[in-house]
Amino acid sequence: MTTQEDNRNYFRLGNHVGIAAYPLDPNLPEDYFADAYDPRLQVPPILSLLNQSRESQIDNNNLLKQIRGKNANVGRYLERMNDRLDLLQKAILYIDKSFPRLSWQWAEYSEAGIDFLIPHTASQYPSPLEHHTSLREAGHRVINLGKDDLRPTQSIHLILGIPTADLDQEQSTAILPSDHLMYQPHFAPAGYISVVAHIKSIVDETAALRVGCAFDQITDFDRQFLARHILAVQSFRRRQSLNNEY
C-alpha cells in the first residue's frame, strides 16, 4: 500500500453525515462529467454559493487576524458583518426548495470515499434516494432508479452534508453505529460538498443495503475541507476521551 493510500486509510472516520444520492445513467462514459459541479448534474445553485462563501471565509479569517492586530474596532466590526452574511446564507438555504432533504445517518467516510446505507423499507428511516427535490426530465440524472437497480462500477452523484466537529454535543438523540439510527437534525452543518463517485461494493445487510463508493470527481477545496473536518472530529473526540478519564 502506498503512503497516500495509508494516509487516506488513516483519515477514515465513522460519523453521522447527510446524504442525497442520485444514481447516474450507466450508459454514460466514465469521464463524462468534467467535475462535481458540472451544470449537467443540476447541482442546486445555493450549493455553489455556499462553497464560494466557505472559500472566502477562510481568506477572511486570515485577513481579520491582521486587521485586528492593527485596529481592534475595525476588526470586530468586520467580524460581525461576516457573521451576518453567514446567517443570511443559512436563511436562504432554509427556504430554497431546490436543495434536497438529506438523509442523516451514521456512515464510514474519508477524503477518498464513503460507505452509506439504503433501507429496504422506506418507512424505516429516510433513504438517500428520497431527497424530495422536484423531478426534472432534462439532464442526465436517472431519477427513477431504485436501490435494486444499483450495480457495482455504476456512477453516482452525491451531495453530502458535513457536520461540525462537536455535533455529538449538540444532539439529544444518540447516533449509534450498531442500529444505524437516522434522523433529521435541527442544526446548520459546517458545509456541503458535491462529488461524483462510482459504486465499489453493494452488501445486503439485515435492514438495508450498504453501498461503498469511491470518489472520482471532487474538487481540491472540498477534499481539503473534508480532510480538515475529519482531523477536527478526531481531535475533538480525543479531547473528550481525555476529559472523561479525569
Q: Where are the domains of the chain?
A: 3-41+98-245, 45-97
Pairwise pLDDT comparison (5 vs 173), residue with the higher score: 5
pLDDT of residue 218: 94
pLDDT of residue 139 exceeding 80, the answer is no
Most confident of 79-83, 86-90, 167-171, 223-227: 223-227
Superfamily name and number for 3-41+98-245: predicted glycosyltransferase like domains (2.40.10.220)
pLDDT of residue 21: 93
Q: Is the pTM of this model over 0.85?
A: no
**Residue 170 DSSP code:** H
Whole-number Cα distances in Å, 134 to 124, 125, 184, 196: 23, 21, 20, 20
